[in-house]
C-alpha cells in the first residue's frame, strides 16, 4: 500500500517527470547530436538516422512535460525545474563542445579544415554560454529552491482579488506591481513575494518566492486561501 500511495503522490510524479526531462536533455540529446556529428565525418549514411532520432526524442519530451503540467494543478511543489534545466543545458553544452573539438580533429582524415574560423567561433560561443549559465545558476540557485508553485483553474484577476482580500483580513500590507501580464505582490513584513502568471484556458500559475522559516506560516495561509473553492 505504501508503494502505491507513493506512486500516486503528485509531488513524486512531478519529480520523476523532471528527472526524465533532465536526463534526456543532459545525456540523451547531446549524445545523439554528438553521434550525428561523428556520423557526418565517418559514416555519413547514418546522419539521416540520427537526425530522425533527435526529432523522435523531441516529440517524446512532450509526454513528461504534459504530465507535469497536469500534476501542477494538484499540489504545491518546490520550483526545482529551472535549476535542473540549467544543469541539463550545462551538460549539453559540455558534451557539444567536446564533440565539436573531437570532430574537428577527426576532420583531418577527410581533408576538412579544422582550423576554419567557424570552428573557433562555435567553440568560443559554447564556452561563453557555459560560463554564463554556471554563473546564472550560482546566483539564482537559492531563489529557485526557496520557491514553490502551483497551477489553478481560475482566472488570474480572481485569484489576485481573493489573495488581496485575505492579506488585508490578516493585517499584512503588500506592494503590487505589474510586469507585462504578470502581477507581483511583495509582502515587506515577511519578505515573501507572490507572482501571479496567466496560463492558457483561464488558468493561472502562482509562484511563492523567498519562503523561509520566518515566513513559512504566512506562506501556509496564502496557500490555504488560494486553495479555497471559488
Which H, E and C letters describe the chain, residue by residue? CHHHHHHCCHHHHHHHHHHHHHHHHHHHHHHHHHHHHHHHHHCHHHHHHHHHHHHHHHHHCHHHHHHHHHHCCCCCEECCHHHHHHHHHHHHHHHHHHHHHHHHHHHHHHCCCCCCHHHHHHHHHHHHHHHHHHHHHHHHHHHHHCCEEEEECCCHHHHHHHHHHHHHHCCCCCEEEEECCEEEEEECCCCEEEEEEECCCCCEEEEEECCCCCCHHHHHHHHHHHHCCC
Among 124-128, 155-159, 198-202, the minimum mean pLDDT is found in 124-128
Q: Among 12-26, 36-50, 80-94, 118-132, whose mean pLDDT is lowest?
A: 118-132
Instruction: Note the pLDDT of residue 83.
Output: 86
Q: What is the pLDDT of residues 208-218, one digit of tens each?
A: 998 888 888 88
Question: pLDDT grade, residue 172 (50/70/90)?
Answer: confident
Name the fold adopted by 148-227.
Answer: TATA-Binding Protein (3.30.310)
Which part of the chain has CATH 3.30.310.80?
A: 148-227
Amino acid at each position: 500500500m505504501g508503494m502505491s500511495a507513493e506512486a500516486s503522490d503528485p509531488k513524486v510524479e512531478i519529480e520523476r517527470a523532471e528527472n526524465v526531462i533532465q536526463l534526456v536533455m543532459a545525456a540523451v540529446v547531446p549524445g545523439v547530436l554528438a553521434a550525428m556529428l561523428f556520423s557526418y565525418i565517418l559514416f555519413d549514411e547514418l546522419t539521416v538516422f540520427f537526425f530522425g532520432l533527435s526529432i523522435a526524442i523531441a516529440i517524446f519530451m512532450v509526454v513528461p512535460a504534459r504530465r507535469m503540467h497536469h500534476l501542477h494543478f494538484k499540489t504545491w511543489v518546490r520550483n526545482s525545474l529551472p535549476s535542473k534545466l540549467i544543469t541539463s543545458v550545462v551538460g549539453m553544452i559540455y558534451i557539444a563542445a567536446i564533440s565539436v573539438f573531437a570532430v574537428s580533429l577527426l576532420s583531418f582524415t577527410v581533408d576538412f579544415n579544422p582550423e576554419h574560423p567557424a570552428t573557433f567561433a562555435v567553440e568560443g560561443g559554447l564556452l561563453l554560454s557555459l560560463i554564463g549559465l554556471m554563473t546564472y545558476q550560482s546566483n539564482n540557485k537559492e531563489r529557485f529552491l526557496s520557491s514553490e508553485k502551483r497551477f489553478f483553474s481560475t482566472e488570474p484577476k480572481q485569484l489576485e482579488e481573493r489573495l488581496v482580500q485575505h492579506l488585508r483580513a490578516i493585517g499584512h500590507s503588500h506592494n503590487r506591481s505589474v510586469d507585462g501580464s504578470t502581477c507581483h505582490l511583495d509582502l515587506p513584513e515577511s519578505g515573501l513575494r507572490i507572482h501571479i502568471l496567466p496560463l492558457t484556458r483561464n488558468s493561472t500559475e502562482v509562484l511563492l518566492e523567498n519562503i523561509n522559516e520566518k515566513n513559512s506560516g504566512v506562506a501556509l495561509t496564502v496557500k490555504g486561501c488560494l486553495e479555497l473553492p471559488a
